[in-house]
Amino acid sequence: MASNATRPPVAPFSVPGPQSSKWLGRLFSTYQVGKDSIGYTNQLFTQYGPVVSLFAGGGTNLYSPVPNCAGTVFVYGPDLVEQVTTHHEIYYKHPLSGRFYQRRANSPRMSPLKHYGVGLFGVNEADHRQHRKLLMPAFHQQQIESYRHDVIDITQSVLDQWQVGQVCDVATTMKLLTLRVVTKTLFGEDVGEEGGKVGSLLEETFKMLGTPAVSLLPFDIPGLPFHQLINLMTQLDEAMRTFIRQKRQQNSLGHDVLSMLIQARDEESNMTLSEDEILGHTHVIYAAGHETSANALTWTLFLLSQHPQILSDLVDELDHVLAGSAPSLEQLQQLPLLDAVVKESLRILTPAPWNGRVTSRPTELGGYQLPANTEVFVSIYRTHHMPELYPDPETFNPRRWETLQPTAYEYNPFSAGPRICIGAAFARMEIKIILAMLLQRFRLQLIPSTPIDRQGIIVMMPKQGLPMQIHPQDRQFTQGVGGVRGNIREMVNLPA
């Protein structure tokens, strides 16, 4: 081991940011990000510029599982987006379990953390390229097309249960809908009770993972939430392994994503995925496969409810092309306004507002030297609201996409570069099909009594939900417009 005298000097953490007493300052800044990541970082960007530290001098750690995290940096703008997303040998991704990943070898009970939420997030450089290559067949265009029928059938069954006059929380409804879609496409038609159990356990563990009680008291002591989380992860492991083995033994491999992962083989290297690797990829696909889509649908329906002329034009387009039916893939190409509405919604209320990375080595970013193990959060949301890129950025204007052609680093709701979301094409198809079917049949009218406040870091959702009343598609688009309260008004221009 090299002595201290021969080790290269570590670059000081020089990125500007707020300063106060070290312990209280770091605690306050971390709390503010957890409370409102977009609002707080907007203040930091305004004060310090497009590269800002959560705390001057570093020492913060929001999610990095590497020891000795140097600090946390937030950045925005296409040049910085490009640098972070294209140099993936420097800017590493890490498992969704975040700092808990460090505990994976602490005891046999912690062993599920070795693969929980790992997937493509937990591999980098050559390993990432190899795993992505193995996963690609499950997300090939032809394979995505085969999932269309599942999306339509599940959407139809959900809409059939709606009752005119009923008030529903659209955020919850869209989450349940996309949850059913991802469960069906991930586990296949033969999921049975065991597949349902797996889906429920996945949902429970991801819910618990983000709770403050688990983060503040990460001790495996009976009675504490972290102990319960490890219990659930253990049950999930057992259920998933049983399900995989049943598929193999019964020769019931089909065209669902799990079957594709089990069968995946690299023809050149003959590499296959281990059972642990399959579990990790399943966790990540499950989480990414419904949370982002659910929030994209929720925000789009909200925006349309407050922009009656855009909604009227969109329903006209849907009626003209689809005449009440669910869209075929060919018909989706004939719906330019639907495409523009989805693009504009993903821009203005980006459901996944951050792209988190950790530096694998010392590097330079935006004129500042970053030590190894620095967390870097790229603000997709702030980039999408730059007036230099999008004139009048807080205005919901789908028509801008008739002439707008941004680069992948100016517009990247699904990230960019070699690590762009592998399921982006499926997500876009799913969102469009659900919107097309819903809007032809129903009009959702906002209930203005509930404030609309943003919440979340990994995904952005309405904190108090989104209550809306179900009406038949009666084209009374001006009903329920206006009167919106909450910090959503900081993000988008809305009627008074």
pLDDT at 226: 94
CATH code of residue 403: 1.10.630.10
Q: Is residue 323 part of a domain?
A: yes
Q: Is residue 186 part of a domain?
A: yes
Owner of token pair 């399900």: 243
Q: How many domains does the chain have?
A: 1
Q: Is residue 227 part of a domain?
A: no
Q: Is residue 178 part of a domain?
A: yes
pLDDT at 67: 85
| Contact (Cβ atoms closer than 8 angstroms) between residue 376 and residue 354 | no
CA dist 215 and 225 (Å) reads 9
Q: What is the pLDDT of residues 61-82, one digit of tens each?
A: 998 999 889 999 999 999 999 9
Tens of each residue's pLDDT in the chain, 496 residues: 333 333 333 455 899 999 876 668 788 888 899 889 999 999 999 999 999 999 999 999 998 999 889 999 999 999 999 999 999 999 999 998 988 999 999 999 999 999 999 999 999 999 999 999 999 999 888 888 889 999 999 999 999 999 999 999 999 999 989 988 988 888 775 344 444 577 778 878 888 887 778 887 889 999 999 999 999 999 988 888 888 888 787 776 777 888 899 999 988 889 999 999 999 998 888 888 788 999 999 999 999 999 999 999 999 999 999 999 999 999 999 999 999 999 999 999 999 999 999 999 999 999 999 999 999 999 999 999 999 999 999 999 999 999 999 999 999 999 999 999 999 999 999 999 999 999 999 999 999 888 999 998 888 999 999 999 999 999 999 999 999 999 999 999 999 9
Q: What is the pLDDT of residues 34-69, one digit of tens each?
A: 889 999 999 999 999 999 999 999 999 998 999 889
Q: Is residue 228 part of a domain?
A: no
| Contact (Cβ atoms closer than 8 angstroms) between residue 186 and residue 285 | yes
Note down the domain range covering 480: 22-112+122-190+252-490
Collect contacts of 125-130 with beta carbons under 8 A, ≥24 apart.
125/88, 125/89, 128/88, 128/93, 128/418, 128/419, 129/418, 130/266, 130/269, 130/271
Q: Is residue 303 part of a domain?
A: yes
Q: Is residue 245 part of a domain?
A: no
Q: Name the token pair of 378.
A: 């790229």
Amino acid at 102: Q
pLDDT at 255: 79
Q: Is residue 177 part of a domain?
A: yes
pLDDT at 70: 94
CA dist 116 and 427 (Å) reads 23
Residue 51 region by backbone torsions, left for phi larger than 0, else alpha for psi between -120 and 50, else beta: beta
